[in-house]
Amino acid sequence: MSRSLLSFFLAVAGAREIVFPPVAGYTTDQAILGGYNDPDISQPKFAGLMTYANLPYVHCLASDGDEVEKFDIAILGAPFDTGVTARPGARFGPAGIRKGSRRIVAGAGWSVYTGDNIFLNWAKIVDCGDAPLTFLDNTAALQQLDKAHKVVSSKRTSSSDYATPRIVTLGGDHTTTLSALRSTYHHWGPVSVIHFDSHIDTWDPKVLGGGISHYAGINHGTFLHIAHEEGLTRNTSIHAGIRAPVIRPKGDLRNDLRCGFTMIKARDIDRIGVAGVIEQLKKRVAGTKVYISVDIDVLDPAFAPATGTSEVGGWSTRELLSILDGLEGLEVVGADIVEVAPIYDNVGETTVLAASEVALSLIGLMVKKPVAALE
């Protein structure tokens, strides 16, 4: 090939543009924003690195003194599952929930129920990625998680009235909630816990864990007992969706009351309905700062098969989302969605889709009610 012919082909290749000819008699509203000459690449749906709901990633775990972007609400992953009593796998929960949220994007986030878009409101919402947690030593892992909460929550928002950012944790097994409650205690004092779960999770470490060691006693069924012992929670807490059996005939429920909890059982919804559940939850925690913890096993295994300790006879995804959204107005200072173990999910990604919507509702409650820090 002669040199001039080669340069001719290169020139043609460089100049080539893909042109879509108009189709006669047909127009579409699905315009490419900005048109072909200036295409919009600002909204990465299904593209780029995976963050929750395609939110911007911020290195919130940067050491003190390092300048990071300001934020009001942070997603923080807690990939930890060595505190479970049944099936492990929740260490992959944060990645699974993010995968379930790929379709959620700020630019198309208008709720058909409320008309609101929580992403395009006052709050800057970011994904901080995951806290690095060792998988060989639970004590060390929880110390790492304590520190991660401390570092993220000590960053400043851009608002002087609401200066402390709030965190939505993606679990991780339920043990991870303990670190989050230590963090909310530091900033807001003792909180009422609204605990969505099929299990009570207030077991005495001597009962669940068998008193083998101090180490064994800190697990996903005892963290609420420990939180109570540490004074992190108020005696105005409440469980929702409980149905799993207890270990001792009377002792576990007596201890549960002592830890400050009353309960709405799973089957109560058949009697009082979604509105009744919302009313009882709001009444119980009225006038206090609230932490909402959602164990995905509150849902029936039909709606959330991918979890460690499945219990049949649970609530539907629609019921849970309606109840969560119904809690609007509460002062939610922290929240989590835990016990998502994607390895047990089905090809339709039923569980991670549900979990990502739960996280969305939790963020929504925070957006709708800013909370001032106690200074």
Q: Is 201 marked as a binding-site residue?
A: yes
The reply on whether position 197 binds Mn ion by CB under 5 A is yes
Q: Which of 204, 295, 300, 357 binds Mn ion (CB under 5 A)?
A: 295
User: Least separation, in Å, of the C-beta of 339 and Mn ion?
Assistant: 6
51 vs 71: CA distance, rounded Å: 15
Contacts to Mn ion from residues 89-128, by CB under 5 A = none
User: Least separation, in Å, of the C-beta of 232 and Mn ion?
Assistant: 16
What DSSP string runs through 199-254? S-----TTTSSTTS-HHHHSSTTTHHHHHHHTT-B-TTEEEEEE-S--SSSSHHHH
The reply on whether position 336 binds Mn ion by CB under 5 A is no
Q: Is 197 marked as a binding-site residue?
A: yes
Q: Which of 102, 174, 234, 289 binds Mn ion (CB under 5 A)?
A: 174
The reply on whether position 173 binds Mn ion by CB under 5 A is no
User: Least separation, in Å, of the C-beta of 370 and Mn ion?
Assistant: 28
Span from 36-44, 126-134, 153-161, 197-205 in contact with Mn ion (CB under 5 A): 197-205
How distant, in Å, are the alpha carbons of 90, 106, 354 from that of 349? 15, 22, 9
Closest to 183 (Cα-Cα) out of 334, 367, 73: 334
Q: Is 297 marked as a binding-site residue?
A: yes
Q: Which is nearer to Mn ion, 151 or 294 (CB)?
A: 294
Token reading at 255: 């201890």
Token reading at 142: 């929880």
The reply on whether position 81 binds Mn ion by CB under 5 A is no
C-alpha dihedral sign at 44, 50, 51, 53: positive
Rg (CA), the chain: 23
* String marking each residue 127-166 x if it binds Mn ion according to CB under 5 A: ----------------------------------------
201: left (phi over 0), alpha (psi -120 to 50) or beta: left
- Residues placed in the known binding site for Mn(2+): 174, 197, 199, 201, 295, 297
Which residues of the shown chain bind Mn ion in the complex (CB under 5 A)?
Answer: 174, 197, 201, 295
